[in-house]
Amino acid sequence: MPLSSASIAELVAAVGRQLPAVVEVDSWAPTVQGAVGHVVGVRGEDGSLYVLKAYGPGGGRRAATEVRALRLLGGVAQIPVPRVLLQGEVAGGGPLFYVLMTRLPGVRWADRRAGLDAQRNLALHRGVGQLLRRMHVLSHERFGDLLDDGPRWPTAWARVDARCDQLVGQHVHAGGPVELGHRVRRLVDRHRGALGSCVQPVLCHNDFIGSNLLVASTGEPQLCGVVDLERASWDDPLADVAQTKLHARYHDPAAAEVLVEAYGLQGDAEHHRVAVHEVLHALDERTWIESDRPAGWKRSIASLDAFLMDST
């Protein structure tokens, strides 16, 4: 969601009215903008560095979710997340929601991946698995939205059952093979017991991947930041693990297994839960690719189809 220079100036002015010490946009910007928000760097008169994130049309819930997640995780030891300083909205042509937060050091994991040797790559995947385990300590009584007025489910099975129906329906609507949707549905039903073994949800990132994890820009790729929590929810922690594993699998299947091993699964039920959630994430991604058709979409569809057929 790119913003015009006028919109950016309006946002900075709105922030400056509430925090006069924040004075101007600086040269910092992420290498890739996300689909949800536009991010710019802001510098204070004392040299402090901030991130100003603006959310797209109708982005009020995304902004509120991210703020809620960051404030919850801010109290968890060894989880490096930005600190929220300010949130608000400007009217303009429609409400534009924003959050001002502290700026963390480092670069995106995605930006360093290609330059890492095999040993460093495996060590970083191991660190990602361990960091995700440390993050999964905040629990709740219901599965679903972080916000109080959002959708909720009483059990893990109810959550997965509803998500499977939604994803299969979207898959078929987008023109995907009907039989593939049936195979996914049967896989979920076969593992109902394992999926239901998750008795309490935790705060999940739901996008714990290379573009949202920061690592040191030089030297050893130590993890130094977790960002972009606008999709966070109360969910099965192994749904988070499965998405990160699927993301890692595209680049290095062996490293993906190291990541999961570092997280520390226990027993067959947990392994089955990761496998089923990974299939659901893959089906979701396939539907997005089928609908949006980004560059190389046919090759991506073929790769996902092969994975889905082999896994169901």
Q: What is the pLDDT of residue 28?
A: 82
Asked whether the beta carbons of 268 and 238 are under 8 A apart, the reply is: no
In the structure, what pLDDT confidence band is assigned to residue 22 with cuts at 50, 70 and 90? confident
Is the confidence at residue 230, as pLDDT, over 60? Answer: yes
120 and 78 part of one domain: no
User: What residue has token string 């095999």?
Assistant: 118
255 and 270 part of one domain: yes
Nearest to 262 by CA among 125, 106, 144, 146: 125
Of 102, 119, 153, which residue is a domain's last?
Answer: 102
Write the CB contacts of 297 (distance below 8 Å, at least 6 apart in sequence): 289, 290
Write the CB contacts of 238 (distance below 8 Å, at least 6 apart in sequence): 198, 265, 270, 273, 274, 277
- Inter-axis angle of helices 118-135 and 237-251, to 10 degrees? 170
170 and 96 part of one domain: no
Of 42, 74, 102, which residue is a domain's last?
Answer: 102
87 and 141 part of one domain: no
Residues 138, 148: Cα–Cα separation, whole Å: 16
Higher pLDDT among residues 30 and 201, named by residue: 201
What's the Cα-to-Cα distance from 97 to each of 11, 120, 145, rounded to whole Å?
9, 39, 19
Asked whether the beta carbons of 184 and 280 are under 8 A apart, the reply is: yes
Residues 216, 112: Cα–Cα separation, whole Å: 9
Q: What is the pLDDT of residue 49?
A: 92
Of 55, 77, 102, which residue is a domain's last?
Answer: 102
CATH number where 172 lies: 3.90.1200.10
Secondary structure class of 297 (helix, strand, coil)? helix
Is the confidence at residue 310, as pLDDT, over 70? Answer: yes
Q: Report residue 233 as tokens.
A: 């929810």
156 and 279 part of one domain: yes
Which has the minimum average pLDDT: 13-27, 149-163, 240-254, 270-284?
Answer: 13-27
Domain coverage including residue 226: 107-311
263 and 150 part of one domain: yes
Is the confidence at residue 32, as pLDDT, over 70? Answer: no
Residues forming a β-bridge with 139:
202
CATH number where 70 lies: 3.30.200.20
116 and 172 part of one domain: yes
159 and 182 part of one domain: yes
What's the Cα-to-Cα distance from 64 to each of 68, 87, 144, 296, rounded to whole Å?
6, 9, 15, 34
Residues 176, 96: Cα–Cα separation, whole Å: 35
Residues forming a β-bridge with 152:
144
202 and 77 part of one domain: no
Q: Give the mean pLDDT of 37-61.
A: 87
In the structure, what pLDDT confidence band is assigned to residue 15 with cuts at 50, 70 and 90? confident
Whole-model pTM: value is 0.93
Q: What is the pLDDT of residue 35?
A: 53
Per-residue model confidence as pLDDT tens digits over 251-304: 999 999 999 999 999 999 999 999 999 999 999 999 999 999 999 999 999 999
159 and 274 part of one domain: yes
267 and 299 part of one domain: yes
* For the chain, percent of residues with pLDDT exceeding 70: 96
217 and 257 part of one domain: yes
**Helix extents (H) in the chain:** 5-18, 60-73, 109-112, 118-135, 156-173, 178-190, 192-195, 237-251, 253-263, 267-292, 297-311
Give me the number of domains the chain comprises: 2
Q: Give the mean pLDDT of 196-208.
A: 97
Residues 141, 158: Cα–Cα separation, whole Å: 14
